[in-house]
Amino acid sequence: MRAEHAEGTPAMAGRLRPVAGVADEIVGGVPCRVYEPFGTAAGTVAYLHGGGWVLGTLDTYDHVARALCAESGARVVNVGYRVAPEATFPAAAEDAWAVVSALDGPLAVCGDSAGGNLAAVCALRARDAGRALALQALVYPVCDVAMDTESWRDFALGHNLDAHEMRWFWDTYLAGADGTHPDASPQRAQDLRGVAPAFVITCSHDILRDEAEVYAYALRGAGVPVRLERYEGMVHGFWRAPALVDDAGRAHREVGLALWAALTGGAA
């Protein structure tokens, strides 16, 4: 599965976006790849890749991190968090937070799918630690372990991420741990007040659509500024395929602009 995930990356990535510099570094004890923008950086973005807490590497999401750096004008730290089954819950969340808590200056978090889950968890932890984040950009994030929404039933098969695959990802990541813990299911947090403003992207044909939108509404209900956009006609995983799907490039631009605006105080 990991080999297939890696082999498909070049066709999806297409031309790599130029950035001023790329370096592998250890941040907060975690292997990361750091991308520097041209000119003065707007701030820093901690990027948490998708892959069901099992797949995904610094290499398979290199093109996405480059795009975010180019579009946001920010320094992007692509986080090489530990994955399951070698390292199960809460290893990925602990690694993500270790990186976020080690970064200085204006800071935002961004993630897709399981990475969106980790970004949301980091936003909650940052609130509790008194660390201000400019934005949490969540692209079709995993938000709850219940797996019982209408979109789970409507798109269970044939829409790139099947229900049985997502259940396997959850089982592999949790390895028997309590999936209702907020570090696994941020939607289960008792209090969402005071977390970072959010930009949430969902896909119309995705089993995760409803839980991500419910989380966006819950944040909004707690007084958190939220921008929610549903990409019509898109399926889970489109974010990773700018060479194949025009909307992936559009999403990179929209998220990049939102990150720039949040980090600099500009108008998106």
Catalytic residues: 113, 206, 236
147 backbone φψ class: left, alpha, beta (φ>0; ψ -120 to 50): left
- Beta-carbon contacts of residue 78 (< 8 Å; ≥ 6 apart): 32, 33, 34, 35, 47, 49, 58, 61, 62, 65
The values of phi and psi at residue 233, to 5°, are 80, -5
Whether the CB-CB separation of 200 and 228 falls below 8 Å is answered with yes
Determine the Cα–Cα distance for residues 32 and 26; give it in Å rounded to an integer: 6
Q: How many Å apart are CA 175 and CA 246, to the nearest integer?
A: 37
What gap in Å lies between CA 258 and CA 254, rounded to an integer? Answer: 6
**Please, what is the angle between helix 62-72 and helix 246-264, to 10°?**
50
Number of other residues whose CB lies within 10 A of the CB of residue 3: 7
The residues facing 44 across adjacent strands are 75, 107
> What is the C-alpha to C-alpha distance for residues 225 and 199, in angstroms, rounded to an integer?
9
